[in-house]
Amino acid sequence: MSDPDRKLIRAFGVDDPGNEVAWPSVVLVDTKNRVAYKHITKNYKNRPPFSELKKAIERADR
């Protein structure tokens, strides 16, 4: 997605203002538009394991 003004990046709390980009992150939004899961890191290689994402998806909308 394109976010040239970084409005969405700021709204999700993943803004890296020093570099004018978003921190590497995974945000899961449920069907009620609530943030059900958020993982933020400074290292793009540090991603949450699939099992953690799967659990977050299963818990969403409960």
The phi, psi pair for 22, rounded to 5°, reads -90, 145
Asked if residue 30 belongs to a domain, the reply is yes
Q: How many domains is the chain built from?
A: 1
pLDDT at site 62: 73
Asked if residue 1 belongs to a domain, the reply is no
Asked if residue 2 belongs to a domain, the reply is no
Per-residue DSSP letters for the chain?
Answer: ---TT-HHHHHTT-EETTTTEEPSEEEEE-TTS-EEEEEE-SSTT----HHHHHHHHHHTT-
pLDDT at site 36: 93
Asked if residue 34 belongs to a domain, the reply is yes
Task: Name the pTM for this structure.
Answer: 0.76
Q: Burial, 18: exposed, middle or buried (Cβ in 10 Å; 0-12, 13-18, 19+)?
A: exposed
If the chain, 62 residues long, is cut into consecutive pieces of 10 residues, what is the mean pLDDT of each piece? 89 91 92 92 92 93 74
Asked if residue 53 belongs to a domain, the reply is yes
Range of the domain at 40: 7-59
